[in-house]
């Protein structure tokens, strides 16, 4: 019976302790089982509490305690072996998970070309597609810019139709369609123009145009492809005797190559022109920085264009043509010597085919005559027979210094197409009904060798608003910024135009102005910069860089308009003062007549004659 109880107690111990005690209990079972073979019976014993099992385990026979130290030693050895195995496994896992150090060979395997379209697809905020509302505006702007440029280059008065239609069963998708009556696009050029970044005809030319980089319309199509998966749809016709071409194209961003989805002939209502349709994700919202505001300012800056705008809310806005004269068509010119950096001058000399340095200066730059070229070469201590390709860097540095010290004529304005003072005022009248208008066009100037021209126009005193007489309650001046006939709606505080306006003292012209703020008054100021290369702060073309030459010219144009405005404001103040004094005369003359009648004992007829004479005398003495 004792042997049976021992076996049962060992089983109970195996449940009380961990895995090590379980193994020990099994070994004890074997030793106990060998001594009690054949003596086991079917006697059942009751399960006892744990505390009693422990006490009985201590009171084991002396014959069985001899194997206990050996069993414990073996168990400890096995436990240590397992712990060591687990530690080694953990270390090997950490080594495997730890990143291996890169070598020159492994890094070289990962190097590859980055497609420009792939870069801008990941950084589309650089192109103005950083939020849905702005993306819709940017797409409209790029399509309209291309249409106006094409019409003006073809000497055609632009007729534009802009339509934005919401996509059915979608709150944030729109179908944009822009139709123009331009000269059209050749069939083989359509895929590259609308589905390849940095492809265009205006980047390498020095003449004014709305587009510059060859990114805009293809970037709008890429954004539409990314957000909706729809390709760009183009219909173009170059002649009334030829059928129109219908294309569906999309850009392969990994290679910056166009993919043609559809190419077929179709019918087109216009004899020549282009229709562009882009489905994209966007958000339509009225107010400032909206598509509605952009179209209105575009009509203001382009009075020669007829624009029909169908808004997403179903409303139609018509801007009839204000001028039947085409704007001045710019011609391409050579760079001006002023502002050209040393490195650019050195590179131009190395690539020149001219035989002498004087010939190089005459042929590669504008406003340089043979006499002036010889004078510059002599000032730089260079031989007139020196070949430009043999020009050293130090000699190029001396030549650059002498060019900046020499007085050279301003660049020709043939490369710049200003709106014109009269057309600026007509453009303002197209949108704003005011009591006073003023305009100014400055002479061409230069920054970094690029000619530019500044124009300004303002409208003061809105006819549909009442004058409360309190300058503190007047609204802030509305500032309209335009670059190469294109309105700029974003990043106003970062623009050189805003900096020049804020630094102008408008108190000199009779307007209230707080420090560091726009002046107060019922006024709209429009500033236009025309240049062969407008220095935008980013690829999205939203603000003009702060070049000192540009800020200076903007200030001069604003001040010229401000002087005319100051004369008008002061004259209006005098008129108001005179009207107030006349009111006093009309109010008090009858009382004066009655007093004189009582004092001088005059008749009524004499009093009326006297009052009329006093009135005429006072009015003649208060001329304005």
Strand-pairing partners, residue 249, are: 232, 260
Among the listed ranges 12-16, 31-35, 116-120, which one has the minimum average pLDDT value? Answer: 12-16
Beta strand 450-462 with 523-531 is antiparallel
| 2-16 helix and 19-35 helix, angle to the nearest 10 degrees | 170
So what's the pLDDT on residue 326?
A: 84
**501 falls within a domain:** yes
Q: Are residues 47 and 163 in the same domain?
A: no
Instruction: Give the pLDDT confidence of 365-379 residue by residue, as tens digits.
Output: 988 999 999 999 999
Instruction: Give the pLDDT confidence of 273-319 residue by residue, as tens digits.
Output: 999 999 999 999 998 889 999 999 999 889 899 999 999 999 999 99
Q: Are residues 616 and 536 in the same domain?
A: no
State how far the Cα of 521 lies from the Cα of 163, in Å rounded to an integer: 35
Among the listed ranges 95-99, 301-305, 540-544, which one has the minimum average pLDDT value? Answer: 95-99
Is this prediction's pTM over 0.85?
A: no
- The structure tokens 């001396």 sit at 398
**pLDDT of residue 233 exceeding 50:** yes
**332 falls within a domain:** no
Nearest CA-CA partner of 194 in 152, 236, 160, 238: 236
Three-state secondary-structure class, residue 590: helix
Q: Are residues 162 and 304 in the same domain?
A: yes
State how far the Cα of 84 lies from the Cα of 216, in Å rounded to an integer: 66
Q: Are residues 181 and 270 in the same domain?
A: yes
**pLDDT of residue 167 exceeding 90:** yes
So what's the pLDDT on residue 53?
A: 43
Token code pair at residue 7? 């076996």
**97 falls within a domain:** no
Strand-pairing partners, residue 457, are: 439, 526
Q: Are residues 565 and 594 in the same domain?
A: no
Q: Are residues 548 and 465 in the same domain?
A: yes
Three-state secondary-structure class, residue 82: helix
Residue 42's contacts (CB-CB under 8 Å, 6 or more residues apart) are none
- The structure tokens 């395997």 sit at 109
Largest pairwise CA distance in the chain: 165
Task: Decide: residue 104, CB within 10 A, 0-12 exposed, 13-18 middle, 19+ buried.
Answer: exposed
Instruction: Give the pLDDT confidence of 23-65 residue by residue, as tens digits.
Output: 444 444 444 444 444 444 433 444 444 444 444 444 444 444 4
Average pLDDT over every residue of 152-174: 93
**pLDDT of residue 130 exceeding 70:** yes
Element (H, E) at 119: helix 116-122
Q: What is the CATH number of the domain that holds 177?
A: 3.30.565.10
So what's the pLDDT on residue 208?
A: 81
Among the listed ranges 7-11, 481-485, 583-587, which one has the minimum average pLDDT value? Answer: 7-11
**109 falls within a domain:** no
Q: Are residues 396 and 429 in the same domain?
A: no
Q: Are 335 and 450 in contact (CB under 8 A)?
A: yes
**359 falls within a domain:** yes
Q: What is the CATH number of the domain that holds 481?
A: 3.30.230.10
Task: Report the percent of the chain where pLDDT is more than 70.
Answer: 80
**pLDDT of residue 19 exceeding 70:** no
Nearest CA-CA partner of 500 in 527, 464, 530, 531: 527
Query: Measured between alpha carbons, how far is residue 256 from residues 128, 188, 198, 259, 330 in Å?
Result: 19, 17, 9, 10, 31
Q: What is the CATH number of the domain that holds 399?
A: 1.10.8.50
Query: Measured between alpha carbons, how far is residue 593 from residues 109, 215, 581, 582, 603 in Å?
Result: 107, 80, 18, 16, 11
State how far the Cα of 156 lies from the Cα of 237, in Å rounded to an integer: 15
**pLDDT of residue 624 exceeding 50:** no
State how far the Cα of 267 lies from the Cα of 410, in Å rounded to an integer: 50
Q: Taking the CB of residue 452, how many other CB atoms lie within 10 A of it?
A: 28
**329 falls within a domain:** no
So what's the pLDDT on residue 95?
A: 58
Query: Measured between alpha carbons, how far is residue 77 from residues 23, 80, 84, 304 in Å?
Result: 13, 5, 11, 98
So what's the pLDDT on residue 109?
A: 86
How many independent structural domains does the chain possess? 5
Average pLDDT over every residue of 219-247: 94
Q: How confident is the model at residue 540 (pLDDT cuts 50, 70, 90)?
A: confident
Q: Are residues 138 and 236 in the same domain?
A: yes
Nearest CA-CA partner of 550 in 530, 568, 570: 530
Q: Are residues 190 and 250 in the same domain?
A: yes
Q: Are residues 583 and 552 in the same domain?
A: no
Q: If DSSP states are collapsed to H, E and C, what string results for 381-433?
A: CCCCCCCHHHCCHHHHHHHHHHHHHCCCCCCCHHHCCCCCHHHHHHHHHHHCC
Nearest CA-CA partner of 452 in 298, 297, 557: 557
Instruction: Give the pLDDT confidence of 502-519 residue by residue, as tens digits.
Output: 999 999 998 888 888 899
**524 falls within a domain:** yes
State how far the Cα of 341 lies from the Cα of 350, in Å rounded to an integer: 14
So what's the pLDDT on residue 278?
A: 96
**324 falls within a domain:** no
Q: Are residues 470 and 605 in the same domain?
A: no
Three-state secondary-structure class, residue 513: coil
Q: How confident is the model at residue 7 (pLDDT cuts 50, 70, 90)?
A: very low
Q: How confident is the model at residue 179 (pLDDT cuts 50, 70, 90)?
A: very high
Element (H, E) at 371: helix 370-379
Instruction: Give the pLDDT confidence of 412-445 residue by residue, as tens digits.
Output: 778 888 888 888 888 888 888 889 999 999 988 8
> If you ran DSSP here, which 8-state letter would residue 305 be given?
-
So what's the pLDDT on residue 591?
A: 82
Q: Are residues 306 and 357 in the same domain?
A: no
Q: Are 251 and 120 in contact (CB under 8 A)?
A: no
Q: How confident is the model at residue 268 (pLDDT cuts 50, 70, 90)?
A: very high
Give CA angle at 214 (211, 219), nearest 5°.
105
Instruction: Give the pLDDT confidence of 559-584 residue by residue, as tens digits.
Output: 999 999 999 988 888 877 777 777 77
**Domain housing 370:** 342-405
So what's the pLDDT on residue 376?
A: 93
Q: How confident is the model at residue 15 (pLDDT cuts 50, 70, 90)?
A: very low
């Amino acid at each position: 019976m004792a042997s049976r109880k021992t076996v049962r107690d060992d089983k109970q111990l195996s449940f009380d302790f961990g895995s090590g005690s379980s193994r020990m209990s099994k070994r004890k079972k074997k030793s106990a089982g060998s001594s009690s073979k054949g003596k086991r019976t079917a006697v059942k014993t009751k399960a006892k509490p744990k505390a009693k099992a422990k006490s009985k385990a201590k009171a084991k026979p002396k014959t069985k305690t001899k194997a206990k130290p050996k069993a414990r030693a073996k168990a400890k050895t096995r436990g240590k072996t397992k712990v060591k195995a687990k530690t080694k496994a953990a270390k090997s896992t950490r080594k495997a998970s730890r990143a291996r150090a890169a070598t020159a060979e492994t890094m070289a395997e990962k190097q590859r070309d980055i497609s420009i379209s792939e870069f801008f697809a990941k950084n589309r905020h650089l192109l103005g597609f950083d939020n849905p509302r702005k993306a819709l505006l940017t797409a409209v702007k790029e399509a309209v810019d291309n249409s106006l440029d094409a019409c003006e280059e073809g000497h055609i008065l632009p007729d534009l139709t802009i339509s934005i239609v919401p996509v059915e069963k979608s709150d944030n998708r729109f179908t944009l369609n822009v139709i123009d009556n331009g000269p059209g696009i050749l069939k083989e050029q359509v895929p590259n123009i609308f589905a390849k970044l940095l492809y265009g005809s205006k980047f390498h030319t020095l003449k004014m145009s709305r587009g510059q980089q060859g990114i805009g319309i293809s970037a709008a199509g890429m954004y539409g492809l990314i957000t909706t998966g729809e390709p760009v749809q183009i219909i173009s016709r170059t002649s009334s005797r030829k059928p129109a071409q219908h294309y569906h194209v999309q850009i392969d961003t990994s290679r910056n190559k166009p993919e043609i989805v559809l190419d077929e002939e179709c019918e087109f209502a216009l004899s020549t022109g282009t229709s562009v349709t882009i489905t994209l994700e966007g958000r339509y919202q009225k107010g400032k920085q909206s598509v509605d505001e952009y179209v209105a300012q575009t009509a203001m800056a382009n009075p020669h264009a007829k624009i029909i705008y169908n808004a997403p809310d179903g409303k139609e806005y018509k801007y009839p043509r204000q001028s039947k004269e085409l704007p001045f068509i710019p011609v391409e010119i050579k760079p001006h010597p002023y502002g050209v950096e040393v490195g650019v001058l050195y590179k131009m000399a190395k690539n020149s085919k001219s035989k002498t340095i004087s010939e190089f200066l005459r042929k590669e730059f504008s406003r340089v005559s043979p006499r002036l070229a010889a004078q510059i070469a002599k000032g730089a201590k260079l031989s007139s027979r020196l070949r430009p390709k043999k020009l050293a860097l130090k000699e190029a540095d001396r030549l650059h210094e002498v060019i900046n010290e020499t007085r050279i004529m301003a660049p020709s304005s043939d490369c710049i197409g200003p709106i014109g003072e009269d057309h600026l005022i007509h453009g303002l009248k197209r949108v704003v009904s005011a009591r006073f208008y003023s305009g100014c066009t400055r002479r061409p100037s230069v920054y970094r060798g690029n000619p530019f021209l500044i124009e300004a126009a303002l409208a003061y005193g809105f006819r549909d608003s009442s004058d409360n007489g309190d300058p503190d309650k007047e609204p802030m001046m509305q500032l309209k910024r335009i670059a190469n006939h294109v309105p700029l709606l974003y990043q106003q505080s970062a623009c050189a135009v805003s900096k020049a306006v804020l630094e102008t003292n408008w108190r000199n012209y009779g307007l209230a102005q707080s420090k560091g703020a726009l002046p107060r008054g019922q006024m709209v100021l429009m500033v236009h910069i025309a240049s062969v290369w407008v220095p935008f702060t980013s690829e999205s073309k939203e603000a003009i860089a702060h070049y000192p030459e540009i800020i200076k010219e903007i200030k001069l144009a604003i001040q010229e308009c401000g002087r005319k405005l100051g004369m008008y404001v002061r004259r209006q103040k005098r008129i108001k003062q005179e009207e107030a004094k006349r009111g006093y005369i009309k109010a008090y003359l009858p009382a004066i007549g009655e007093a004189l009648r009582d004092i001088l004992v005059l008749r009524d007829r004499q009093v009326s004659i006297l009052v009329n004479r006093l009135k005429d005398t006072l009015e003649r003495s208060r001329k304005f």
